[in-house]
Structure 1
Amino acid sequence: MTEKILVDFHGTGSGVGDLTWGQRTVWRTVVKTGHSETMGGITALPPGTTVEQSAMVLRYVMGRHQSLRTRLVFDKPDGGPRQQVHTSGQVALAVVDAGAEDPAEVAERVKAEYEDADFDYAQEWPVRMAVVTKDGEPTHSVAVYSHLAIDAHGLDALVSDLATMDWATGEPTLPLTATQPLELAEQQRKPNVLRNSEAALRYWERVLRTVSAKRVEGESDDHRSPRWGDLSLRSPASWLATKAIAARLGTDTSPVLLAGYACALARTVGNNPVAVQIAVNNRFRQSLVGSVSTMAQTCPLMVDLADAGFDEAVHRARQATMVTYKYAYYDPEKRAAMVDRVAEELGGRVEMDTYFNDRRPPGRDEHELVAPPAEEILAARGSSTHEWVMWTDVDSPLLYLDVDAEPDAIVFTLTGDTTRVAPKSMLDLLTEIETVLVDAALDPGATTGIRS
């Protein structure tokens, strides 16, 4: 059984304006795929939580953050949307009785339903929230947001800001100073910001004119239907090896994993120089750190692995990442026009549809990593496991690697287009990452294996 509670909210600030670059980037994906992009998750509630408290949280975040009080208006001659921030309104909180079912399973089902249903951008608020109850007691909260309103770092900002709510009154205890989307869209029209965008586009063009036209060599001999598959590899050996390499080099683990993926890609289905896109949160000014909005954009990272030791590859990956962070803030329509122009000049498009996404928490402490014994790394190689997680015909990237962490393992999840990369080749790519990392952990002189 599901009950709907209408929650009134009121906040400061309203108006109509253009979408930000981050929102326009997401909108281009929505138009391409025909499906909403979402963010969110499930929170287990402590005993004693009430439905009224959940309604208070929903009322607080809606009033506090303009991005959650935003709907789209389609009044432009080209049919593209603008955003309209509302001062007040009502939003529904669903209360779902789990009955005899496991409330955790009910919460997962509600989350999946929220993610699968496209948002009505003109009529619906960009947040769907539910409370799952068992015997009348709330056990889980489910929240799913439109990606047009929030990205991963915006979600972190939302959670952090929730700590400023007075739980007795539901009112904020601190003023909100972070930049809001309407203000950000205005900033992106200023000459100095537009110059940053032009510099980013010049970097993009250099990459397009440097790398091979294809990220994946050849075609697949094992097309599947549905077309795209998600393959997950859980690798304790990769985590141990990554720690060993990072401890040896005095660096954090992200560039080690990026170098491992780049080497494996070039050794198996790809080529060199390696080009992958990474998502950059673009919150480099203090006024943007706490912004509950969508600011992330992707940018190509190019790294040449030829004739290099693996330790040098890690250094190159780190340097390439710094360059990418600098050039990930740009006007997406102007970028698309530049890509079209370069494709015409080169006589064909350069594929840039391969991604690396380290989803581990950015604030993790890796200052005192200890290299595990070689014997432990070797022994862990036999405990890797893999599974096919999902198949879909929703338009997806050529290759997209997510990196997640468990206490004793790295989990690689690779989305691949089976018309270009056979399922066996996807598995070979993931297992090659483990091989690259283990070899480099055990031998400081290990090379990338890539020749010029």
Structure 2
Amino acid sequence: MDLDPKPVTITFTGRAARTAPMTWGQRSIYASIRWLGDDAWYFNLTRVVEAPPGTREDQACAALAALLARHEGLRSSFHETDDDWVQRVRAEGATTVHVTSADPSDAPEVAHALAARLAQHTFRHDDELPVRFGLVVAGPRSGQGDDEHAGTQVTHVVVAVSHLAADGWAADLLKRDVERLLDGSAEAPPQWQPVDQARHELAGPGAARGDAALAYWSRTLEAIPHAPFPPAEADGKPDRFVKLGISSRALAVAATVVAGRCGVSTGTVLLTASVVVLGRLIGQDRVALELIASNRLDERSRGLVAPLAENALFVVDLAGADDFRTAARRTFAAGLSAYRHAQYDPQARDRLVAQARERHGGGTGLGSFFNDMRIGRDWAVDVDAYGSLDAVRALTAQTTTSFVGSWDRQDATWFVSVDDADGTCGLYLMADTELVPRHRVEELLREMESVVVEAVAG
């Protein structure tokens, strides 16, 4: 698609410039960004906002300038000094908005294409804002002047943000803020900003919570099965890491039914299915995963635009769990403990992992992940419409498979993720094909679906 966006400059002014160490959440994702190098665009997030009818280009640009003023993390640069990794907040500055035109009927497709284009390059975090903006306007737009097209009607606002400035939760906050800034319903800016979070983590209750989490990691690392997969080499063959997904109405319905019956969340049901299938694959009852914990535990963290997510160390033993209800309850208890201990200095955690690896001859049993990206959302499914196991089984005929992507390098051997769309469950598996042959990736996804569907029988 030939977008040919035109640049428009906007300026922003926020509170005073500030400097602080990176937060734990920033450090966690920054380590992965450094490791991937030029391929770190993989982590970028996008959000597309449909503008209210009648939104002018100058109004949309003003909303984006206000967004930068509201959230210090969006106007920060990130640096490696001799002493530490730091964030530096800019008090004021300017950035470019990329404006492209489209016929109204094509505008949604163009907006998503523009989002993908803005996200396809790795951010230069030491001298570039960690966010890029785009607008889709109705009808033709020519010329380069910033003022010439101030009255042009905007159909969509596009945000592409570095994972160093936002995780999935924070990206949703940005989308909400853009919507409210456009319609005039925005509340006062949040007072708690990434610099405040960083200082909270350095001392007092924040530091104490981190110490407790590290103590949990130290204990639990000794309890996990070691090296279920051989360690992945950094330089694999081209397209070695493959990600496939299934879109399954059956899984959404079955997970909802089983969750209600077992007294757990649908996320726990899907985590249990992942554990069961991974355990079968590696031939072990005890399974270790790193869960992606959102760490949005109170009002101020729930309003913070920054990456707070970290890995939660999860270990469950399903020996003797002869039915899904038992497995789900064990998974719930283990997950609760893991999520309680998911806020810590990731560099200190890395030192603990390195020590465990040395004690155990190079293996730690880590490298497998689970991430429920729905962030509290659930499927709106009418479970009463599927009153029997056969009815749910019949839905599996509608399940579709998609190829998501492939990469030469990843820092995981097994990564299950969950998303939702229109009453279906999006279940994804990224796997190292040196360890899990490509044809098995789809089979394993279907096996997870089957585990949950068959659990409907009780």
What is aligned with 1:347?
A: 361
- CA distance in structure 2 between the aligned counterparts of 1:211 and 1:346, rounded to whole angstroms: 11
Name the SS of the counterpart of 2:250 in structure 1: helix
1:304 pairs with 309, 317, 325, which one? Answer: 317
In structure 1, the partner of 2:455 is 440
Query: Which residue type is aligned with residue 147 of structure 1?
Result: H
Q: Which residue of 1 aligns with 2:33?
A: 30
2:11 matches 1:8: yes
Q: Does the aligned pair in 1 maintain the 2:104–2:155 contact within 8 Å?
A: no
The separation in 1 between residues aligned to 2:340 and 2:288, in whole angstroms, is 16
Change in Cα spacing, 1:424 to 1:73, as seen in structure 2 (3 Å) is closer
Percent of aligned pairs with the same amino acid: 27
1:296 Cα deviation after fit: 1.1
**Inter-CA distance 163–441: structure 2 relative to 1 (3 Å threshold):** same
CA gap of 1:164–1:391, structure 2 versus 1, over 3 A, is: closer
Pairing partner for 2:275 from 262, 286, 300 = 262
Give the conservation status (yes or no) of the 8 Å contact 2:52–2:183: no
Distance (Å, rounded) in 1 between the aligned partners of 2:411 and 2:315: 22
Which SS does the other structure have where 2:257 is aligned? helix
Q: CA deviation at 1:381?
A: 2.6
Distance 1:57 1:149 in 2: 19
SS in 2 for 1:83: strand
Pairing partner for 1:86 from 86, 90, 93: 90
Do residues 39 (structure 1) and 53 (structure 2) align? no
Match of 1:49 in 2: 55
Equivalent pair of 2:381/2:423 in contact (CA under 8 Å): no
Distance 1:198 1:384, change over 3 A: same
Match of 2:374 in 1: 360
Q: Which amino acid aligns with 1:298?
A: N
* Cα distance in 2 for residues equivalent to 1:413 and 1:365: 17
Residue-by-residue CA offset, 1:233-266 (whole Å, 9 max, x unaligned): 1222222221221232343311111111111111
Q: Could you tell me how far 1:99 is from its partner in structure 2?
A: 7.3
Structure 1 Cα separation of the partners of residues 160 and 403 of structure 2: 25
TM-score (norm 2): 0.87
Structure 1 CA distance for aligned equivalents of residues 292 and 381 of structure 2:
24
Distance in 2 of aligned mates of 1:218 and 1:438: 33
8 Å contact from structure 1 (residues 70, 84) kept in 2: yes
> Residue 65 of structure 1 aligns with which residue?
71
Q: Secondary structure at the match of 1:225?
A: coil
Corresponding position of 2:227? 214
Aligned residue number for residue 77 of structure 1 = 82
Cα deviation for residue 319 of structure 1 reads 1.4
Task: Write out aligned runs for 1:173-212 (5 A).
Answer: 174-212=187-225
Q: Give yes or no for the alignment of 1:110 onto 2:109.
A: no
Q: Which runs of 5+ in 2 are unaligned?
A: 141-152
Count of residues in Structure 1 that have an aligned counterpart in Structure 2: 435
1:325 to 336, 339, 347: 339
List runs of 5+ in structure 1 lacking aligned partners. Answer: 445-452
Inter-CA distance 24–231: structure 2 relative to 1 (3 Å threshold) = same
Q: CA deviation at 1:269?
A: 4.1
The one-letter code sitting in structure 1 at the alignment partner of 2:166 is I
C-alpha separation between the residues in 2 aligned to 1:154 and 1:388? 27
**Partners of 1:84 and 1:231 in 2: CA distance:** 38
Q: What pairs up with 1:113-132 in 2 under 5 angstroms? A: 113-132=117-136
Range 133-142 or range 237-246, more displaced: 133-142
Shift of 1:294: 1.5
Work out the CA distance in 1 between the residues paired with 2:231 and 2:122: 35
Q: Following the alignment from structure 2 to structure 1, what is the Cα–Cα distance between the partners of residues 298 and 391? A: 42
Given the two structures, how large is their TM-score scaled by the length of structure 1?
0.89
**Hey, what's the Cα distance between the residues in 1 that align with 2:155 and 2:189?**
30
* CA deviation after TM superposition for structure 1 residue 100, in Å: 11
Question: 2:114 corresponds to which letter in structure 1?
Answer: V
Change (3 A) 1:100 1:381: closer
Shift of 1:421: 0.9
Per-residue CA distance 1:379-429 (angstroms, 9 max, x = gap): 123332213221222424211111122334322111111111111221221
